[in-house]
């Protein structure tokens, strides 16, 4: 059995339509885009559960519209706020916290789980969905960075299927689909990167950048954490690790190329030198709809791509000096699974501190490199060990900031 098949559903049983859908992180950027797809194709889905973090108002609005029988929020305070905002005559069952999210991911009546919580908090619910044999649309890349080995094993055991929502991995998935299981025919996966708002900038400029500048992504509208990850290129680093887990390749066979227009979403290279690219307007509704409706293709409210209007598509190598996060991610994945967990935890703590304007932009890679230098590998073969290491590294990095 060739490795990328585990994330490739050709031979898998997929649920019929309408699909019973759970969206974890429905109030975020991905969640909102997913609900646009659902609103356009209501006959294809039954919305069974919507889960948000702290944004009670947006979740209440979404639930009032889609009327799921279940919802989840971060804690009891948000739950009370949420319940007070619901219309008369509608009372979903409201779960809370990590256990609540995991319970929704494994609900017996749920068939399709969109994993779109941000950060390591997405790991446990994604694993719960994998263990329960669900069809999973995976946006939360951090869950594979933390525990790709555990999630893949759970999918193999339960028959769960992961469809990659992340635009690059979705592009690769589409490129790989027609090509059977012969993974020796694949020579390389090439992820495109926009280069973020600081492409072409040097160290002196980067030492002065602000939160607002880092959040102003040129092509994609996204949540705050992934926007900063795109500015440091850590997003591409996490995506290289995500691709290695999804498609079972070593990091030496996954490359990144900067493509400022974000029209080519990634490429698969075969041994004969052919490269298959996926092109489209940069809007997450496209890969979300592809995953939620797979193997069907449906219409989405996205302007079709007009290549003549785009004009030039350009490509350049990433700058390894200005953007060390790409190298740090590669080195961490090569060093082993506990290094990848340390990388992710350090990044989340540093990005949160940057967003709170407690540290500068260049302190982000510095904090990650220091955490990796300190890291002594430990056994992370269980979810408990993964979460324990995540907690420990966060505490260390926070103390060192
Ligand atoms: P976002 O910040 O806009 O939304 C995050 C969602 O998670 C919200 O619903 C929030 O309430 C919830 N949340 C936050 N912290 C939580 C916690 N501790 N427990 C439970 N819920 C929590 O983020 P986003 O941009 O939608 O990204 C979501 C995930 O998708 C990330 O892993 C990101 O890397 C990935 N992704 C996003 C995009 C994009 O275009 N936005 C593209 C590819 C991949
Ligand atoms: Mg991406």
3-state secondary structure of 363: helix
pLDDT along the chain (401 residues), means of 10: 42 88 98 98 98 98 98 98 98 98 98 98 98 96 97 90 94 77 79 97 95 91 95 98 91 96 96 96 97 95 97 97 97 97 98 98 98 98 98 98 93
In this structure, are residues 373 and 339 in contact, taking their beta carbons and an 8 Å threshold? no
Nearest CA to ligand 1 atom 27: 118
Tell me how far apart the 2 most distant CA atoms of the chain are, in Å: 63
Instruction: Identify the DSSP state of 256.
Output: E
Cα–Cα distance measured from residue 61 to residue 80, given in angstroms and rounded to the nearest whole number: 15
DSSP-assigned letters across all residues of 326-358: HHHHHHHHHH-HHHHHHHHHHHHHHHHHHHTTS
In this structure, are residues 140 and 128 in contact, taking their beta carbons and an 8 Å threshold? no
pLDDT for res 10 = 52
pLDDT for res 176 = 85
Nearest CA to ligand 1 atom 11: 53
**Residue 51 CA, closest ligand 1 atom number:** 9
- Residue 354: CA atoms inside 13 Å, Cβ hemisphere, count? 32
Pocket probe for ligand 1: among 29, 119, 290, the residue whose CB has the most ligand atoms within 8 Å is: 29
Which CATH topology does 196-281+319-394 take? Rna Polymerase Sigma Factor; Chain: A (1.10.1740)
pLDDT for res 221 = 84
Structure tokens at 212: 């607002």
| Residue 247 CA, ligand 2 centroid: distance in Å | 15
Domain residue ranges of the chain, discontinuous segments joined by + = 196-281+319-394
pLDDT for res 249 = 87
Cα–Cα distance measured from residue 225 to residue 230, given in angstroms and rounded to the nearest whole number: 9
pLDDT for res 184 = 81
| Residue 313 CA, ligand 2 centroid: distance in Å | 18
With a Cβ cut-off of 6 Å, ligand 1 is lined by 25-31, 52-53, 55, 74, 101, 116-118, 121-122, 139-142, 166, 220, 222-226, 284
Cα–Cα distance measured from residue 202 to residue 195, given in angstroms and rounded to the nearest whole number: 13
Ligand nearest, relative to CA of residue 29: 1
Nearest CA to ligand 1 atom 18: 121
Ligand nearest, relative to CA of residue 262: 2
């Amino acid at each position: 059995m060739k490795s990328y098949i585990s994330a490739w559903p050709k031979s898998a049983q997929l649920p019929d339509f309408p699909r019973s859908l759970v969206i974890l992180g429905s109030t975020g950027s991905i969640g909102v885009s997913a609900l646009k797809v659902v609103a356009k194709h209501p006959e294809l889905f039954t919305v069974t559960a919507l889960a948000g973090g702290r944004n009670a108002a947006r979740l209440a609005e979404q639930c009032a519209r889609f009327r799921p029988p279940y919802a989840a929020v971060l804690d009891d305070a948000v739950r009370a706020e949420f319940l007070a905002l619901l219309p008369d005559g509608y009372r979903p069952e409201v779960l809370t916290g990590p256990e609540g999210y995991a319970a929704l991911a494994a609900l017996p009546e749920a068939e399709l789980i969109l994993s779109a919580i941000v950060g390591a908090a997405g790991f446990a619910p994604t694993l719960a969905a994998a263990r329960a044999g669900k069809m999973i649309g995976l946006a939360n890349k951090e869950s594979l960075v933390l525990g790709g080995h555990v999630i893949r094993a759970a999918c193999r055991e339960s028959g769960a299927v992961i469809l990659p929502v992340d635009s690059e991995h979705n592009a690769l998935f589409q490129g790989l689909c027609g090509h059977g299981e012969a993974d020796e025919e694949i020579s390389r996966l090439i992820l495109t990167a926009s280069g973020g708002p600081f492409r072409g900038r040097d160290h002196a400029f980067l030492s002065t950048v602000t939160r607002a500048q880092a959040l102003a992504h040129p092509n994609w509208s996204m949540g705050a954490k992934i926007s900063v990850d795109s500015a440091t290129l850590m997003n591409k680093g996490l995506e290289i690790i995500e691709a290695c887990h999804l498609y079972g390749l070593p990091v030496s066979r996954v490359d990144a190329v900067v493509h400022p227009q974000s029209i080519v979403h990634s490429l698969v290279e075969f041994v004969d030198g052919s490269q298959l690219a996926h092109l489209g307007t940069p809007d997450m509704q496209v890969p979300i709809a592809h995953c939620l409706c797979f193997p069907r293709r449906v219409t989405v409210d996205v302007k079709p791509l007009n290549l003549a209007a785009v004009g030039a598509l350009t490509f350049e190598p990433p700058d390894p000096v200005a953007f060390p996060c790409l190298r740090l991610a590669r080195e961490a994945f090569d060093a082993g699974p506990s290094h990848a967990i340390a990388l992710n935890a350090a990044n989340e703590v540093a990005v949160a501190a940057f967003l709170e304007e407690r540290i500068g932009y260049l302190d982000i890679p510095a904090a990650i490199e220091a955490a990796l230098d300190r890291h002594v590998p430990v056994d992370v073969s269980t979810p408990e060990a993964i979460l324990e290491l995540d907690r420990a590294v966060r505490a260390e990095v926070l103390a060192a900031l």
